[in-house]
Structure 1
Amino acid sequence: MKVQYKQAAAAGIMLLLAALGGCKKNEASASGSGQINLRVFQYEVENQQMDFPNLWFFQELEKKTGVHIEWEPVKDGDWTTRLNLMFASMDLPDIIRTGDVDIEEYGVTQGLLVALNDYLEPNMPNYYSRLFMNEANKAMPASDGKMYWIGGLIAQNINHDGSHYINKAWLDKLGLAVPKTIDELTDVLKAFRDRDPNGNGLKDEIPFSAGDLIHQTQGLYTHFANFGVPLQRYVYAVIQENSKLVFPGNMDGFRPALEWLAMCYREGLLDMESITQDSNAWGIKMNAGLVGYTTYLRLINTALSPDIAAQYESILPPAGKYGVSVPRLLEVPNVDAVLTTANKHIPESLKWLDAQFETETMMIAYNGPIQPGGPIDPTMKINNQGKYEILYVPENNLLYKYVPVYHAMFFAPGDYYFNIFEMPPHRVERFNSSKQYADAGVLEPGSFTILNNLIKPSAEDSLEITRLYNEIDKLMQESIANFIRSGITDAGWLEFLNSGKSIGVDRYVALLQKAYDAYLTAK
């Protein structure tokens, strides 16, 4: 049965976060009696240096909850390796936060994660009150029917991750139009290389840059969409219009995409560091005014300085022979926290997590303070409609010095979120980009999110899918990087296809097809 968030218990809420700017009196909180120490294995985005122990938000939270956290932050690039080593060594933390965790492997199969079904309602009233809104709960059960994770969700009415951006200031200076096809884009990139669009007399322009190979917003994978291949790093299968799945490496546009990227690399159109550089290195080049074409999350409230962001314009992906197919994003919860079986304070841990889901606390964690007296001037207010409204967004990602922002506990399905929040300009920007893509019909027919989040393979099948995915992911990353750097020969291409068959691409797609067919039947 659905439970509205306003029905959550009110016990102790005024004690929780007065220093954080107040609380909703009809929501639950944790009290601060006695100190409990918890060890948290915490994901950290690559382009931010977070000081979790000294973050104003967490210091205030500790005062009010009596829970002390020993933080173990891990950067995005190191996450998978460090996580797997941690499980292999059995040196388990109490809580794992934000980063991807293989729930089937470590929860269902190895039994190293806590099944939370019986704990949620009594210990997480704020979270539980929203769990069934917009059917958010349907993404959460594992193959054994148990919930091993706390969800993170920010409803935004968006449908894709990375948008394509062209340096409009450079186009205007050179008298060029926005490119609509791959051929037009190639001509534009050559003009960016040869005609000094930044006007400094140097050959320092980077016509085309990316922030690593696989990143979902600025990686090179995003540019396969221009050739009709919705390539992303989460699952190597694509739902076609006939509900049949296909391996992206077998799609008609995959090799042409590689050949175009290899040409760009060979002719100095593509930043030679794009395959390996992180978002920090990419951002430095962007903010130095050196980049002509790229993909990114949005322009407002990002790592880009306002004057640099103003140079760019959101465009539809320039189309190749096989059309455009951008990975379609569905707004479903992601893994935001799990508890390991080493945790001796399960109720207290869940109450600490739930304290962060109290409405105002959650909003502060992501957007900054609402009351005077905090570390910076209030960044939010309650407007005349009773909604939270952003007053301003501090430049240069200043919020990350005081509140967790991306790392915040946040669970806001649409029926809850749109009633409490006045969407700020950077959210409106992403919505408008999504509308642009939807209206143009450039999204993939299905959605990778279904295969990554909603289908429910058996525990045995899930284990095999994970094993095969790891082999395929290694093959894809190594092959794509090598093809871009060295070009493609018929012999090299045949070796790639044969390698895919030998490691089980067909079996991988068949297992996903089986689970997807069951998902369609159960809908």
Structure 2
Amino acid sequence: MRRKMYATAMTAMLVTGTLMGLAVPAAERDGVTLHGDSTYDSIEKITDEDLTLKIMLAIRDGDTIKAPEELAAVQDLEALTGINLEWEVIKASDWSMKTNLMFASGEMPDIIIAVNGQGQIDYEEYGVSQELVIPLDDYITEELMPNYYSRIQAEESDPTISLVASDGKTYSIGYLVGQYICEEGHYFINRDWMNELGLEDPTTIEELTEVLRKFKEAYPDYVPYEMGLDAGAYYDLKYVLPMFGIPNSDKWLYIDEDKKVQFAPVQQGFRDCVEWLSECYAEGLLDPECLSQDGNTLQTKLSEGNVGFFTAWRLKAMGWDDGVAANSECILPPSVDGKGAYMDRYLELARPCAFITATNEHVEESIRLLDAMMDTEMQADLYYGPQNPTEGTGWVYDEENGKINTVTVSDVTVKNQIDCNTQFFAPGDYISENYNLSEQRLEKIDYCQMYDEAGVINTYSSQYFAMSGLTADVLADFSLIETDIDNAVSEAVADFVAHGVTDDSWDSFVSKFDGMNIDQYVSTYQEAIDGMDLE
């Protein structure tokens, strides 16, 4: 962990409005009058031809942004590169239908930008199998992509290895916001309640149960343990399981310390977990809506507070300042034997972001355009908002160390940036050299450091499954298996929690997997893991 290197960088994080509202003459470069204070020093003219590239952009359902062509940074990008851009912006809920129709019709854009769950492109299917998006290995060079290439080379290990397809080729430009973290979810307890009741932090499941009982007795109108079995993110069953020795993996698979792939739902720890949840539910220690509530409902409750124990990504900048963030603290996860939980390690690896389609007749120009979007000032403008903003969000240069501070001037209805939907590549070393990490990111680093030092995080991340190099056909078959597993787990766990677990009901649950080809599912991933030579 590199927590200490940020200490001095945070001395000037509180930026006053006088830094953000100054009237500064527009910058000028190469005969181009720019809209704001950013000069985008690494961006060069790409073409003198009358070239227009079409970009399909996925955004989150909850995002309301200006049309990209109206953004000052995009207009500056066009002026400096000489490339005109036409944008098609698609909400996440429409993404699958729109992209399926697009690929089926053959009428494709030149570039697709889809990241962060807003939208996804299956590069095994559309790259390896159908060849509708092209491999980019030959274009990721120092000459064509100096920003992207240099950031990859600066890291001790290649953060883009996660992008390699089953044929050994790379079909996307990566997205990464380096944060020096090693775990996604953390455990929080109401410190005010603990102090009022004179309680010590629980280290075992037995102690946690007693704490929850004390919460219920002292605060009968509130929720001792806030969670939702299928709430997703960091609030569901997957973040109860680590307390019982089962890492929080999305595939219901994990890699143990002997590098063996394990199927979580049939483990004894899984049964112990749902039995404990059933006991808590029967005693009124869980939110009575935990069987069905979704993540949005749960987050609203966290924003209101009055919760004793819960799991989350972090506390700050989550909209919970008047809720759980005001009285909660991160603790180590309790465990069955008190020797430590078993959480899944998070690896800071790139995710697929930008793709170039097979109908694109200007591949080199497109590649250079994507690299221009990763100019330090340009990607900051596109992600956070303009430099020295007068409204909304943006960023400023720190007067003391010259690094970037992100700032919020005011709340706005329509964002003046593409936000996390844009092409953004900032590995850890690059982040530390160019950004002062925000208070909430330092908070997250502290939590991860505490968990890592306590030894509650496993060695072999479940993210290695995504690097297994399985073909599109195999992944398609496994996707069906995973859907069946999800459905079986969701149905059974809700029943277990509501009505209890017996030997017969448990055996019936386990037998559901007999016809799902689980042995092949596990052995295929085991073979892939064996071939990775993990250390």
TM-score category (smaller protein):
0.7 to 0.9
1:388-403 to 2 correspondences below 5 Å: 388-390=404-406, 392-393=407-408, 401-403=415-417
Give the equivalent residue in structure 1 for 2:168: 145
Residue from 404, 429, 440 that aligns with 1:426: 440
Does the residue aligned with 1:335 lie in a helix, a strand or coil? Answer: strand
Percent of aligned pairs with the same amino acid: 30
2:424 is the counterpart of 1:410: yes
**Alpha-carbon distance, 1:166 to partner:** 1.0
The superposition leaves residues 241-267 of structure 1 with CA deviations (integer Å, 9 ceiling, x where unpaired) of 111111112322111111122233333
For the Cα contact (< 8 Å) 1:153–1:412, is it kept in 2? yes
2:267 is the counterpart of 1:251: yes
Give the equivalent residue in structure 2 for 1:68: 86
The superposition leaves residues 142-182 of structure 1 with CA deviations (integer Å, 9 ceiling, x where unpaired) of 11121112211122211010111111122223332222221
For the Cα contact (< 8 Å) 2:178–2:431, is it kept in 1? yes
The superposition leaves residues 93-152 of structure 1 with CA deviations (integer Å, 9 ceiling, x where unpaired) of 632511244332332223333322234446544323323442123222211121112211
Q: What is the rounded CA distance, in whole Å, between the counterparts of 1:70 and 1:43 in structure 2?
A: 11
**Structure 1 unmatched ranges of 5 or more:** 1-11, 197-202
Residues 227 and 277 from structure 1, CA distance in 2 versus in 1: closer, same or farther, beyond 3 angstroms? same
Residues 433 and 61 from structure 1, CA distance in 2 versus in 1: closer, same or farther, beyond 3 angstroms? same
Residue from 191, 194, 202 that aligns with 2:217: 194
Residues 401 and 341 from structure 1, CA distance in 2 versus in 1: closer, same or farther, beyond 3 angstroms? same
Q: Which amino acid aligns with 2:512?
A: S
Give the equivalent residue in structure 2 for 1:207: 224
For the Cα contact (< 8 Å) 2:68–2:87, is it kept in 1? no
For the Cα contact (< 8 Å) 2:306–2:323, is it kept in 1? no
2:520 is the counterpart of 1:504: no
Residues 136 and 23 from structure 1, CA distance in 2 versus in 1: closer, same or farther, beyond 3 angstroms? farther
Give the equivalent residue in structure 1 for 2:289: 273
Q: Which amino acid aligns with 1:130?
A: R
Does the residue aligned with 1:238 lie in a helix, a strand or coil? Answer: strand
The worse-fitting range, judged by mean Cα deviation, of 355-364 and 103-112 is 103-112
**Alpha-carbon distance, 1:361 to partner:** 1.9
Return the TM-score normalized by structure 2: 0.81
Q: How much is the aligned-residue C-alpha RMSD, in angstroms?
A: 3.4
2:463 is the counterpart of 1:449: yes
Give the equivalent residue in structure 1 for 2:506: 493
**Alpha-carbon distance, 1:348 to partner:** 5.4
**Alpha-carbon distance, 1:358 to partner:** 1.1
Q: What is the rounded CA distance, in whole Å, between the counterparts of 1:517 and 1:362 in structure 2?
A: 38
For the Cα contact (< 8 Å) 1:365–1:405, is it kept in 2? yes
Q: How many residues align?
A: 494
Give the equivalent residue in structure 2 for 1:168: 191
2:382 is the counterpart of 1:365: yes
Q: Which amino acid aligns with 2:493?
A: I
Q: Which amino acid aligns with 1:266?
A: A
Q: What is the rounded CA distance, in whole Å, between the counterparts of 1:351 and 1:494 in structure 2?
A: 58
**Alpha-carbon distance, 1:464 to partner:** 4.2
Residue from 108, 127, 138 that aligns with 1:107: 127
2:402 is the counterpart of 1:386: yes
2:453 is the counterpart of 1:439: yes
For the Cα contact (< 8 Å) 2:314–2:444, is it kept in 1? yes
Q: What is the rounded CA distance, in whole Å, between the counterparts of 1:195 and 1:343 in structure 2?
A: 65
Q: What is the rounded CA distance, in whole Å, between the counterparts of 2:313 and 2:271 in structure 1?
A: 26
For the Cα contact (< 8 Å) 1:232–1:327, is it kept in 2? yes
For the Cα contact (< 8 Å) 2:73–2:381, is it kept in 1? no
Residue from 305, 311, 314 that aligns with 1:289: 305
Q: What is the rounded CA distance, in whole Å, between the counterparts of 1:438 and 1:517 in structure 2?
A: 25
Residue from 352, 360, 373 that aligns with 1:335: 352
**Alpha-carbon distance, 1:473 to partner:** 3.3
The superposition leaves residues 46-86 of structure 1 with CA deviations (integer Å, 9 ceiling, x where unpaired) of xxx212344798454146423131211115xx87x657865
Q: What is the rounded CA distance, in whole Å, between the counterparts of 2:236 and 2:105 in structure 1?
A: 33
Q: What is the rounded CA distance, in whole Å, between the counterparts of 1:461 and 1:420 in structure 2?
A: 41
Give the equivalent residue in structure 2 for 1:474: 487
Residue from 313, 320, 338 that aligns with 1:304: 320
Residues 114 and 287 from structure 1, CA distance in 2 versus in 1: closer, same or farther, beyond 3 angstroms? same
2:133 is the counterpart of 1:128: no
**Alpha-carbon distance, 1:366 to partner:** 3.6
1:179-190 to 2 correspondences below 5 Å: 179-190=202-213
Q: What is the rounded CA distance, in whole Å, between the counterparts of 2:448 and 2:328 in structure 1?
A: 17
Q: What is the rounded CA distance, in whole Å, between the counterparts of 2:146 and 2:351 in structure 1?
A: 19
The superposition leaves residues 197-241 of structure 1 with CA deviations (integer Å, 9 ceiling, x where unpaired) of xxxxxx5412222366263423331111111100322x3321111
For the Cα contact (< 8 Å) 2:245–2:269, is it kept in 1? yes
**Alpha-carbon distance, 1:379 to partner:** 3.9
The worse-fitting range, judged by mean Cα deviation, of 281-290 and 317-326 is 317-326
